Each structure stands twice: as C-alpha cells, then as structure tokens.
Chain A
Amino acid sequence: MSDRLSVLKTYKLYVGGKFPRSESGRVYEVTDCKGTWLANAPLASRKDARDAVVAARKAFGGWSGATAYNRGQILYRIAEMLEGRREQFIAEVADAEGLSKAKATAQVDAAIDRWVWYAGWSDKVAQITGGANPVAGPYFNLSSPEPTGVVAVLAPQDSSFLGLVSVIAPAVVTGNTVVVVTSEKSPLPALSLAEVLATSDLPGGVVNILSGRTAEIAAPLAAHQDVNALDLAGADAGLAKELETAAADNLKRVLRPEPADWSADPGTGRLLSFLETKTVWHPMGV
C-alpha cells in the first residue's frame, strides 16, 4: 500500500444529464454490510423527484422518436463503457452487497451482458408484438408497439447493480424515459452507473437516478400526473399497495413486485410491460 491519500468521490444524483446534489442539501451515510462507511449519498427529496420527471418528460420526444437502430447502438455503447470500468463496478458491488470478488464479478458481467441483450431488442420488439391484422374489409390495419412514456422505476433493494440494470434497460430500450430510485441501502453502484450513461451518447434525461429513502421518493412519483407507469420492483408489499393506489389517479400502468432471480434469463416480460399498442387503419381502394 502506498501512503498516498486517495481522492474520494462525491456521489451525486443524475437528472437531465447533469449531476446535481439533492436540492434539499441532504445526504445519508452508506456503509458496507459490516457497517464500514463507504460514502455519503444524496438523500433525494420530493422536489428532486419532480425535477427528474420534468427531465424525463423533456427527453421523451427525442428518445422515443429516435430510430430503433440508434437506441440499440446507444444501449450497446453503455455495455462498452461498462466493460472498460468493470473493475470499478466489481469493487462497488462487492462492497455494496457483501459479495466475494468472484460473485461480484458474476453480477457485473451479467449486467454488462444484459445491456447487450436488450440492445438487440430495440429493432425486434415491434416485430414480435405488432403486425398486420386481417380485418374483414378493404382496410390496411397495422398494430405497432409504442413506449408508454415516463416510467418511474423502483430498483430492486437487494441487487444493487444487476437488478438495477435489469429494470432500467427493458424500459428505455423501447423508447421510454425513466426516473429510477436506487436501492436504498446500496445506492453507490447505481450512482456510478450514471457516469457510464453520461458518456454513452444516451441523451440527458432518458435515465434519471435518485438515491435516498425509497418510500419518500416513490410517493410523489406514484402520485405524479405526468408519470405514465410505475415499476414497483423495489417496493415491499405494504409500500407497493400504497403506491399502486396512488397510481390509480391517472391510471398509471403498474408492474407489481414479484420475487425475481436477476441472474436468470429475463425473458420479454419487463420489455413488454411499458408498451402501448397503437393500431392504424386506412381504407384500400383505387
């Protein structure tokens, strides 16, 4: 060990492509599983949540309007950037989740590969969910999936990185923009992921990341009238019921929490959860 004093990182939120502190000025202590201090993370407020929704809405038109090929390349670029910082994330995940280096490596590798898996979905999802409908009349009739809009995502509490990536990627690959609430206990890998996203050509505002108390940040998101959907992966049963009830006010699409093995094949469930089907008719004739 050298005696050099290391430079500690100030962990910040990620909103609209920028790295603000919480407007509340609050932070909370993040420790490893043995209770050793790791860093202070921003304790995001209701106002931070609202700012993040504004940023996500602003980014929605451009991101949902980008070509699927373009979105796919950007998701792949995220995997490229992560690969280069693999060691950093292995260390952060090991600290955050109390994992051995081998187990943390498996988590990070799976997370990188998950970006690649979802990157490839961008220009295929319309072909598995949409298509021509053979209506009984002289009409062209086509159904296509479209992104739901702004999705508030409560990242899993116990899988600070693989779980996180597994809920962000399927929402954004189809053109949604997201406001993510990190694992409350282990927010650091998520906050570091923001640095990767910021250098992957992902437009600012497509992914917004907030750390803090899940219940405190989730309540205004679930009640927000400009949020279109809610992924409750990181909510316990009591909180999930409360948030789903609040979400009914503007009929947000709600993905309820269920036990998940984030290492398993993700399938298409999450990918298809934040899509709307649009059906276009036109008469045929000469």
Chain B
Amino acid sequence: MTSAFEYAPAPESRAVVDIAPSYGLFIDGEFAEGSDGKVFKTVSPANEEVLSEVAQASADDVDRAVKAARKAFEKWSALPGAERAKYLFRIARIIQERSRELAVLESLDNGKPIRESRDADLPLVAAHFFYYAGWADKLDHAGYGPHPRPLGVAGQVIPWNFPLLMLAWKIAPALATGNTVVLKPAETTPLSALFFADICRQAGLPKGVVNILTGDGSTGAALVAHPDINKVAFTGSTEVGKAIARTVAGTDKKVTLELGGKAANIVFDDAPIDQAVEGIVNGIFFNQGHVCCAGSRLLVQESVQDELLDALKRRMQTLRVGDPLDKNTDIGAINSAEQLARITALADAGEAEGAERWAPACELPGSGYWFAPTLFTGVTQAHRIAREEIFGPVLSVLTFRTPEEAVAKANNTPYGLSAGIWTEKGSRILWMANKLRAGVIWSNTFNKFDPTSPFGGYKESGYGREGGRHGLEAYLNV
C-alpha cells in the first residue's frame, strides 16, 4: 500500500542531553570507578554508536554499595515520613523539569521511539515518585497495621525495556517506606539510572540512600546473594526470577518478582473492530513488543477473523519503523543484537512449525538492530510462538468459538501477567475478567499503567505487586 502521506524527517534534538564519555558507579553519594577497573560500552541500538563507557561492578563493589546503604538506613528510616516525602516530591519535580532530556537519553540508549519515552515513560516515572512521596507520611493508615517498619536494604535489579520507569517502580516505594537501595540497571541500558543518580544529588538526597551499580548478570547475582540485604526486587525474565527464588531460599529476604508473560488479547465478534485493532497494535507493538505484559497472543472469535485480520494488516502497513528520535516513529530499534537474535530465532521457529508469517513491506535501516512488525496466523497452542515469550514485535493469532474456549486457551500458559478482552457486552467482560488467571485485565483497552494501579502476575509471571497501596507491602515488614 502506498502511503497517503509522505513524512519529512522530524528528529528530536539530541542537544538536550549531554552524555559523558564514561561513568563510574554511584556509591555513597559519589561516582567512583569499579574496584577492578573493568568497563563496558553501551551502544545506541538504532545505529550501534557507542554512547558511553560504564563500570562493571564487581562483588567488592556490591559489598561497598550495600555497606553504604546499610549505613544510610539508620538515619533515613528514622527520618519523619513527611521529610522523606519531601525528598521524593523533589525528585518527582526534578524529573518533570528534566523529562525531555531523560526521554531523549532513554530513546538513545534503549531504542524506543521518542513519542513513547516522552509521552509514556517519563510522565509515568514522575507520577510514580509523586504518588509514593505522598505515602511516606501516611504508612500508619495504609492498612498494614500501626507503625509498619521498613525492611532495611533493598537489592533491586531492573530490565532494559523501560529502564527509568522500572527504576521508579523500584526506588519510589522503597524510599517512601524508609528503605535504602542498591539498584542495578540492565547491562544494555545503564544511562538513565546514572542520570537518576545526578537527580538524587540535585534533590539533596542523603548519601548512601540510593546506590547505582552498573554491570551484567554477575553483578545482579552478587547483589541478590549478598547476605546483608533484606529485600530483593527483580523485574526481568522468568528464568532469572526462578534462579533468584532459589538463591533466597532459606533466608529472611523478602522477594518480589515481576517476570515474563504471554498475554492473550481476546476479541469477540461484537467488538468495535477499529478500536480493537488499535488495542491489538498497542498491545504488541508498543515499545517494539519489549513488554512483559504485551498482548502477544491474539485470540479472535472465528466469525470475525477475516474482517479483523484485514483491518489489522491495513493498520500494520501504516506503522513507521525507524529512527527512535524521529517524532513520527511508531516502532524503534530492538534493544540489542542478542534480543534480535532471539526474536529472529522464535519467528523462524514459527514458520518452521507451520504457522503463516506476514509482515508489511517496510524498509529497515542498514545499521542497528531492527525487526519488522510481524503477524503469524494458523498458530496452534503447541507452537513455540504461542507458548514462549518472544519479547518482540511478533503477534501470534489463534481463534476460538465460545467464551469458554477463549478462557481455556488464554489460561493455557504457565504465565499469568495480563490479558485483554474486547467486547461490547458488559456481563461478558466481567465473566471473562473473573475467569482469566492474570494480574491485570484490560477490557476494551490495553497496556494502560498508572502509579495507583497494582501491577504484577499470577503463576510464573512472578509474585508481589508494584503500584498502588499494594506496592507498599513489598517494602514493609508486614
């Protein structure tokens, strides 16, 4: 299909962000080199340009950071809640002030479209700090009994798909409840967490309350296993989540895990097709499909399959894949070569197992990591692309006839993070929402997030909730 409109490039300026050539670890309020001097590069996935060089934290560095956090804990936890709140309000405001800078930075380091980092990630980051700031002096009234106490030092490991947002989900409730933190951002997206360290400095946050360690999986493993942390919070793959659950077995460490998903997005024959198509596109192509709660399995009622798929394909042809900093871009770069290889392998498996592959004609940039939005039809429940989390812009389409069949297929997964329902019939929405074994149900919408709304999964999608009053529990001795 030829486009009705041609778009001129509309790049967001990079000038708003100043990335240093190298960064150390943020421990006890100061940037310092790693103990063994090891560093690694972080690249822009859109063009493989090296953005900066960051320290690889060793086990010794983890120990130093935990000690700093432990030392800071005494005063921080003893601070009146209202004072802790004010630090968090300051952080929220500084994030709002610097949000364009951080959005551009996030798009550079992660590859996500500026439209999303600017309009989704950053507003949610600021809102999350603002929300939990308000809880800091109201914990006695949060429904966890009088005087709930913080746990101590929280070790937090976050993924690369929403680097700063996941940082906010971890740090805001931890600090509001009086804990101190050691946080490790993902290996491929360390920069926004390091910029956050600077925000802590601007906010005058006492040193040691927030410590940021960059590094790979070994750094995360050392942090989780450190004997002097009281809490582990992890967002990432189910495989690593299970390893963490084994590591903490037999300890007193409290754990929350927010892991993978294989959400069903269920479209009934009475759904408004155009709205459903927008929801499906948002569900699987938002953030290149690098979303744990992505609607990666489309379950469409057989009677509207043809109509829906025609409309969906038409819509997919209008998606613009390319420069993350271009304000018209819908789908940015795949975060890393490794992730691209995984998506490619699973998509190939889909074809090999007999599903039919379709993607709109779209020109992909010559350098960087890219994957065209892709649709598979004729998918069965046995196919790998129906069972495994692809974490990319790949949608598997299955069909159903009755609501019971839709429920059975939707629940036929070890995951249980999210699900979508599209129908005009209210009673059916409530019946379906009741039957689906998932932590978040979006009805006639998808991929909506809010700091007040608890998020987290059933089954192998992990345990604990982030967001809302529920999110406090993970950081209190209750």
Name A's B-contacting residues (CB within 8 A). Answer: 128-129, 131, 133-137, 139, 141, 143, 148, 228, 237, 240-241, 244-245, 247-251, 253-254, 256, 267, 269, 276-283
Q: Given A240-B250, A251-B257, check contact A133 B452 (CB 8 Å).
A: yes
Query: Which of B445-467 touch A at CB < 8 Å?
Result: 445, 448, 450, 452-456, 458-460, 462-463, 465
Query: Which of B200-256 touch A at CB < 8 Å?
Result: 238, 241-243, 245-246, 249-250, 252
Q: Determine if A279 and B249 form an interchain contact, defined as CB atoms under 8 angstroms apart.
A: no
Return chain A residues, CB-CB under 8 Å to B242. Answer: 248-249, 251
Specify the chain A residue showing the minimal Cβ separation from B254. Answer: A256
Q: Is B114's CB within 8 Å of the partner chain A?
A: no
Return chain B residues, CB-CB under 8 Å to A136. Answer: 127, 450, 452
Q: Determine if A250 and B454 form an interchain contact, defined as CB atoms under 8 angstroms apart.
A: no
A220 to B441, CA, bound (A): 33
Given A141-B452, A278-B439, A280-B441; 4 other pairs, CB 8 A cutoff:
A137-B448, A141-B450, A269-B478, A279-B439
Q: Determine if B241 and A281 form an interchain contact, defined as CB atoms under 8 angstroms apart.
A: no
A128, A133, A248, A250: which contacts B453 (Cβ < 8 A)? A133
A247 to B245, CA, bound (A): 8
Specify the chain A residue showing the minimal Cβ separation from B426. Answer: A282
Task: Looking at the assembled complex, report how far the CB atom of B37 sits from the nearest CB atom of chain A, in whole angstroms.
Answer: 35
Q: Is B40's CB within 8 Å of the partner chain A?
A: no
Q: Determine if A250 and B414 form an interchain contact, defined as CB atoms under 8 angstroms apart.
A: yes
Q: Is B339's CB within 8 Å of the partner chain A?
A: no
Q: Is B444's CB within 8 Å of the partner chain A?
A: yes
A209 to B455, CA, bound (A): 35
Return chain A residues, CB-CB under 8 Å to B456. Answer: 277
Q: Determine if B445 and A278 form an interchain contact, defined as CB atoms under 8 angstroms apart.
A: no
Q: Determine if B468 and A143 form an interchain contact, defined as CB atoms under 8 angstroms apart.
A: yes
A162 to B450, CA, bound (A): 43
Return chain A residues, CB-CB under 8 Å to B439. Answer: 276-279
Q: Determine if A248 and B438 form an interchain contact, defined as CB atoms under 8 angstroms apart.
A: no
Q: Determine if A279 and B454 form an interchain contact, defined as CB atoms under 8 angstroms apart.
A: yes
A8 to B414, CA, bound (A): 47
Q: Is B440's CB within 8 Å of the partner chain A?
A: yes
When A and B form their complex, which 10 residue pairs have the shortest distance between CB atoms, in order from nearest? A241-B250, A248-B245, A244-B249, A135-B450, A245-B249, A133-B452, A280-B441, A248-B246, A133-B453, A282-B443
A133, A241, A269, A282: which contacts B444 (Cβ < 8 A)? A282
A129, A250, A278: which contacts B438 (Cβ < 8 A)? A278
Query: Which of B348-376 touch A at CB < 8 Å?
Result: none
Q: Determine if B448 and A250 form an interchain contact, defined as CB atoms under 8 angstroms apart.
A: no
Return chain A residues, CB-CB under 8 Å to B252. Answer: 256
Q: Determine if A143 and B250 form an interchain contact, defined as CB atoms under 8 angstroms apart.
A: no
A280 to B445, CA, bound (A): 10
Q: Is B168's CB within 8 Å of the partner chain A?
A: no
Q: Determine if A253 and B463 form an interchain contact, defined as CB atoms under 8 angstroms apart.
A: yes
A249, A251, A277, A280: which contacts B465 (Cβ < 8 A)? A277
Q: Is B199's CB within 8 Å of the partner chain A?
A: no
Q: Determine if A228 and B250 form an interchain contact, defined as CB atoms under 8 angstroms apart.
A: no
Return chain A residues, CB-CB under 8 Å to B243. Answer: 248
Q: Is B259's CB within 8 Å of the partner chain A?
A: yes
B127, B443, B460, B470: which contacts A280 (Cβ < 8 A)? B443
Q: Determine if A279 and B238 form an interchain contact, defined as CB atoms under 8 angstroms apart.
A: no
Return chain B residues, CB-CB under 8 Å to A143. Answer: 453-454, 468, 470
Task: Looking at the assembled complex, report how far the CB atom of B264 sits from the nearest CB atom of chain A, in whole angstroms.
Answer: 15
Q: Given A135-B452, A282-B445, check contact A251 B259 (CB 8 Å).
A: yes
Return chain B residues, CB-CB under 8 Å to A148. Answer: 458
A283 to B272, CA, bound (A): 14
Task: Looking at the assembled complex, report how far the CB atom of A2 sits from the nearest CB atom of chain B, in whole angstroms.
Answer: 54
Return chain A residues, CB-CB under 8 Å to B443. Answer: 280-282
Return chain B residues, CB-CB under 8 Å to A131. Answer: 469
Q: Is B143's CB within 8 Å of the partner chain A?
A: yes
Q: Is B195's CB within 8 Å of the partner chain A?
A: no
A32 to B249, CA, bound (A): 35
Task: Looking at the assembled complex, report how far the CB atom of B389 sits from the nearest CB atom of chain A, in whole angstroms.
Answer: 14
Q: Determine if A245 and B452 form an interchain contact, defined as CB atoms under 8 angstroms apart.
A: no
Q: Determine if A134 and B452 form an interchain contact, defined as CB atoms under 8 angstroms apart.
A: yes
A128 to B471, CA, bound (A): 15
Specify the chain A residue showing the minimal Cβ separation from B448. Answer: A281
Return chain A residues, CB-CB under 8 Å to B454. Answer: 133, 143, 277, 279
Q: Given A139-B448, A276-B439, A281-B441, check contact A237 B463 (CB 8 Å).
A: no
Specify the chain A residue showing the minimal Cβ separation from B259. Answer: A251
Q: Determine if B444 and A283 form an interchain contact, defined as CB atoms under 8 angstroms apart.
A: yes
Specify the chain B residue showing the minimal Cβ separation from A251. Answer: B460
Specify the chain A residue showing the minimal Cβ separation from B457. Answer: A276
Q: Determine if A251 and B441 form an interchain contact, defined as CB atoms under 8 angstroms apart.
A: no
Q: Is B442's CB within 8 Å of the partner chain A?
A: yes
What would be 16 A-B contacts, judged by CB atoms less than 8 Å apart? A135-B450, A136-B127, A137-B448, A141-B452, A143-B454, A148-B458, A244-B249, A251-B257, A254-B249, A269-B478, A277-B454, A279-B440, A280-B441, A281-B440, A281-B453, A282-B443
Return chain A residues, CB-CB under 8 Å to B246. Answer: 245, 248
Q: Is B94's CB within 8 Å of the partner chain A?
A: no
A249 to B145, CA, bound (A): 33
Return chain A residues, CB-CB under 8 Å to B444. Answer: 282-283
A252 to B442, CA, bound (A): 25
A256 to B460, CA, bound (A): 19
Return chain A residues, CB-CB under 8 Å to B145. Answer: 267
A39 to B252, CA, bound (A): 39
Specify the chain B residue showing the minimal Cβ separation from A253. Answer: B463
Q: Determine if A283 and B445 form an interchain contact, defined as CB atoms under 8 angstroms apart.
A: yes
Task: Looking at the assembled complex, report how far the CB atom of B93 sits from the nearest CB atom of chain A, in whole angstroms.
Answer: 17
A114 to B374, CA, bound (A): 56
Which among B127, B454, B456 has the highest number of chain A CB atoms within 10 Å? B454
Q: Is B39's CB within 8 Å of the partner chain A?
A: no
Q: Determine if B463 and A251 form an interchain contact, defined as CB atoms under 8 angstroms apart.
A: yes
Q: Is B433's CB within 8 Å of the partner chain A?
A: yes
A253 to B439, CA, bound (A): 15
Q: Given A245-B249, A281-B440, A283-B445, check contact A141 B459 (CB 8 Å).
A: no
Q: Determine if B463 and A279 form an interchain contact, defined as CB atoms under 8 angstroms apart.
A: no
Specify the chain A residue showing the minimal Cβ separation from B432. Answer: A280
Return chain B residues, CB-CB under 8 Å to A128. Answer: 143
Q: Is B429's CB within 8 Å of the partner chain A?
A: yes
A279 to B439, CA, bound (A): 6
Q: Determine if B250 and A251 form an interchain contact, defined as CB atoms under 8 angstroms apart.
A: no
Return chain A residues, CB-CB under 8 Å to B414. Answer: 250
Specify the chain A residue showing the minimal Cβ separation from B447. Answer: A281
Return chain A residues, CB-CB under 8 Å to B241. Answer: 251
In the complex, per-residue mask of B143-162: 1 if CB is within 8 Å of any chain A CB, else 0: 10100000000000000000
